[in-house]
A and B are shown apart, each in its own frame.
Chain A
Amino acid sequence: MKLTCKEAARLVSQGLDRRLGPWDWLRLRVHLLICDACTAFSRQMEFLRRAIQRLP
């Protein structure tokens, strides 16, 4: 059940590109609830997406 941060980072990225399977989705949610570092990483990834969309 438990994810490492390394695995969570990959799932955060994949979650921006496809709908995660229910199992991966749940494992990632649980991990993000308890992990500030991965939550910050996830925010960085969303920030990056917004930044690219603002390029001409």
Chain B
Amino acid sequence: MKSFAARVEEERPYLLRYASLQLRDSHAAEDAVQEALVAALAGEASFAGRSNLRTWLTGILKHKIVDAIRRSSRDPEPLPETAEFDALFDETGHWGEPPAAWPENSLEQKQFFAVLEKCLAALPAKTAQAFMMREHMGFDTDEICQEIGVTPTHCWVLLYRARMALRECLQTNWFGK
């Protein structure tokens, strides 16, 4: 039977991918994973086989990611602009081009996720961070505002901006084809 340390080490690539999606900086991601693995090994007793190892490790990693985000977001950022999306609407506030129906089966295609990751990578850093904290790590907006040091309104604007930009990017690079 494999040692606990070996089983933990096997999860490193998965954790690295998870952290990279969130932090968008390979050094910061490696640091967060390293800290999580060290904490995991020290806390073996608290794992005690009570849950799935990957789930348990991901839980530890989330805390380390939040620590890294907190460290890197001390500088205030001006309220993001959403004027870029106003062009999607005409002067009466109607859609210039109505949103299309997106076929559900894209979720079964590996290539779709490659495109999605490219679209995520194209987002501005803080916008992506707020969005991934919300949608991938499942934090609520109060926690996100607190961790990245912005007001709730700023937070909703960031999330709106992320969704609109991703929607445009997916429409152009995947659904529009």
Give A contacts to B, CB under 8 Å. Answer: 4-7, 9-10, 13-14, 16-18, 36-38, 40-41, 43-45, 47-56
Say whether B156 contacts A48, CB under 8 Å: no
CA distance A53 to B137 in the complex (A): 9
Contact B94 A4 (CB under 8 A): yes
Chain B residues near A (Cβ < 8 Å): 14, 17-18, 21, 86, 88-89, 92-95, 98-102, 104, 106-107, 112-113, 116-117, 132, 134-136, 140-141, 155-156, 159-160, 163-164, 166-167, 170
Q: Assuming the A-B contacts A37-B95, A40-B101, A54-B113, are A5 and B163 also in contact, with contact meaning beta carbons closer than 8 angstroms in the complex?
A: no
Contact partner, B141, options A18, A43, A50, Cβ 8 Å = A18
Q: Which residues of A are found within 8 Å of B102, using beta-carbon distances?
A: 43-44, 47
Let me know if A10 and B160 touch, CB within 8 A: yes
Cα-based distance from A36 to B99 in the complex (angstroms): 9
Inter-chain contact total with CB atoms closer than 8 Å: 87
Given known pairs A51-B107, A51-B116, the reply for A6 and B98 (CB within 8 Å) is no
Q: Which residue of B89, B116, B159 is within 8 Å of A17 (Cβ)?
A: B159
Q: How far is the CA of A12 from the CA of B89 in the complex (A)?
A: 15
Interface pair A36/B163, CB less than 8 Å apart: no
Question: What residues on A are CB-neighbors of B116 within 8 Å?
Answer: 51-52, 55
Whether B93 lies near A54 (C-beta < 8 A) is no
